[in-house]
Chain A
Amino acid sequence: MKTIVRLENVSKSFEKDKYVINNLSLDVYEGEFLTLLGSSGCGKTTILRMISGLEHVTDGKVYIDDKDVTELDPTKREVNTIFQNFALFPHMTVFENVSFGLRMKKVSKKEIESRVKKVLKLVELDGYEDRYPSQLSGGQQQRVAIARGIVMNPKVLLLDESLASLDLKLKRMMQIELKKIQRKLGITFIYVTHDQDEALTMSDRIIIIEKGVIKQEGSPQEIYQNPNSTFVADFIGESNLLTSTIDKINDTTIDVKFDNKIFVVNREEEDNIGDKVYLMIRPENVLVSNKEINNSSKGIIKTLVYDGAVTKLFVDTEGDFDLKVNVQGNTNYKEGDTLYIAVENKNIVPIREKKNEKRR
């Protein structure tokens, strides 16, 4: 796969010696839908702005299509940004908004017309050329903003929380729409969001950022199924995190002890007997039963929340730990019921917090 954007040891500080981004390196591949995911203030928007050139890097290099653009003005970079508030020019019509970039590039009138027409058709806004942004709904404004970006044929399209201001239903629709547009055009999208749902739905690859540092990167499945830290496990989806200790080390596996039960999980090089290991269990992977089953714990349903497709149980176990459990569809359980819970070994993900990793 060809690298289209490369950040090399990039740092950014707005105040002296206070780094928002510290020595970050990142490769973005051609044609992928990449999401930078992190809570607000983690520096993800800053990374985007350094790629677009709206923010200078304090240190390091930025490459777009193998060309060093570190010192290049945003007007000359072949990337375009879709802003969170869309930033449509209020005094211009849809046509004037979408054609703005082409007019700045002195493209011929005839070409402008055909390109704008094509792109408006793509975002399903043909016939809206003469409307002003204030006459459009939120979703339509969003699509004008996207059209204004992709009409430039950028090498990369940067989207800064572009769906955040839409209501939930529209957001879901636009997520699928956006993905469709990206597939159709084959342009690389770099999407910044704090919404993990959005990231899982749209991305080919997710990069999780915390405090300006990459915590994990991988496909949505990898990140959901194998989070490498408690932070990621907690941030993506719902999870139970249980603290266990290593009891025995085998050839390829280790036995960990939790609640006087032994679970078998994969071994890692630096494991030692007595080390602390977090066990991550997704709520939907917990088995529930009325009868005692192998290696199960007894518990009482403290709270029951009906959520349509799933019913969420908060179970208070005898072993002095609480567990979130999701059961598909309707159940006959009520709050206060007693039940047995168990987890298969393959659904337990061990997480080792690295000792040398400083949590700032």
Chain B
Amino acid sequence: MKKGDRFFKFITLSPIVIYTSLLILLPLIYIFFLSFCKNDSYGGIIYDFTLSNYIAIFDITYLNIFVKSSLIAFIATFICICISYPFALILRERSENLQNLMTKLIMIPFLTNSLIRTYGWIVLLRKNGIVNSILITSGLIENPLSLMYNNLGIIIGMSYTLLPFMVLPVCSSVFKIDNTLIEAARDLGAKPWAIFKKIIIPETISGVFNGSLMVFIPAIGYFFISDILGGGKAMIIGNLIKNQFLTARNWPFGSAISIFLIIITFFLVWIYRKLGGKLDDLGGM
């Protein structure tokens, strides 16, 4: 490598290196360090090595929260898949212009702050909100449904907020399917359902995995959605961490949960890589 090239590389890369190390890597190391410390009853930190924070996570109360968060995230991911697949499959047969327009329409609301959009859902979902009014006026129900301040509210909010992270990878993998594969399957006598099962799913599974990862991981941690639409009653991991830092002022325990969450995330990525790797061998990518 020439000297000039190296200098150029250094200049162009240094902002991102400084940014990530100062604002992501250093805090992460600090949190990792904190997770092994004790706290005093006034919210201070005693720099004394302990594993008690990690042991505390395995308390049944916290394990319940982990299981519930994962379940909510899983359902939200599933809902996103159920919306994205038909969307992508229908759009696949349409013109490229329409494809671009529709994917952009999905993106546009996400230019607005997600906190504000989540507040918007209150107008729709509350007891005398728009959804309930429509259902009551149309005579479908007599008493308003509880659509928020419960797990349902969180799931609705998560699915909505994270939908684009599913739609985009699913669309890109569905649009990429070679049309002659589908024609070949038809030519060999495959009916629509068989084509979906035998051709479309295997050909797009990597995109779906990709999207699932992008939805599932944030869904575990998005505390503001469960704060607003769950009414603060329902606790997910994100809330738990936030509370430890801001309310209970137990920074070491909060740090330990954060590290634990990071480990779970890495585990999921590892599974994905494993599956993705296998898919590669199959030629599924």
Q: Given A85-B178, A90-B283, check contact A104 B202 (CB 8 Å).
A: no
Q: A120-137 toward B: CB 8 Å interface, digit per residue (1/0)?
A: 000000000000111000
Considering only CB atoms and an 8 Å cut-off, how many residues of chain A contact the other chain? 24
Interface presence of A228 (CB below 8 A): no
Q: A67-89 toward B: CB 8 Å interface, digit per residue (1/0)?
A: 00000011110001101110101
Interface presence of B188 (CB below 8 A): yes
Q: How long is the Cα–Cα vector from A91 to B203 in the complex, in angstroms?
A: 7
Most-contacted residue by chain B among A73, A80, A91 (CB, 10 A): A91
10 A-B contacts, Cβ less than 8 Å apart? A54-B187, A81-B183, A90-B283, A90-B284, A100-B185, A104-B190, A132-B281, A132-B282, A132-B283, A152-B188
B192 to chain A, nearest CB (A): 9
Q: Do A81 and B283 touch across chains, with their CB atoms under 8 A apart?
A: no
Q: Given A85-B178, A87-B180, check contact A54 B284 (CB 8 Å).
A: no
Q: Do B199 and A89 touch across chains, with their CB atoms under 8 A apart?
A: yes
Closest to B187 in A: A81
B38 to chain A, nearest CB (A): 53
Interface positions of A from 90 to 109, Cβ below 8 Å from B: 90-91, 100-101, 104-105
Interface positions of B from 15 to 39, Cβ below 8 Å from A: none
Most-contacted residue by chain A among B184, B198, B199 (CB, 10 A): B184
Q: Do B283 and A134 touch across chains, with their CB atoms under 8 A apart?
A: yes
| B-side contacts of A54, CB under 8 Å | 183, 186-187
Q: How long is the Cα–Cα vector from A132 to B202 in the complex, in angstroms?
A: 14
Interface positions of B from 132 to 162, Cβ below 8 Å from A: none
Q: Do A87 and B190 touch across chains, with their CB atoms under 8 A apart?
A: no
Of the candidates B178, B202, B283, which one forms a contact with A133 in the assembled complex, judged by CB atoms under 8 Å apart? B283
Q: How long is the Cα–Cα vector from A91 to B189 in the complex, in angstroms?
A: 18
| B-side contacts of A148, CB under 8 Å | 188
Interface presence of A239 (CB below 8 A): no
What are the 4 tightest A-B residue pairs by CB atom distance, in nearest-first order?
A101-B188, A90-B283, A87-B184, A87-B180
| A-side contacts of B271, CB under 8 Å | none
Of the candidates B186, B202, B283, B284, which one forms a contact with A74 in the assembled complex, judged by CB atoms under 8 Å apart? B186
B282 to chain A, nearest CB (A): 5
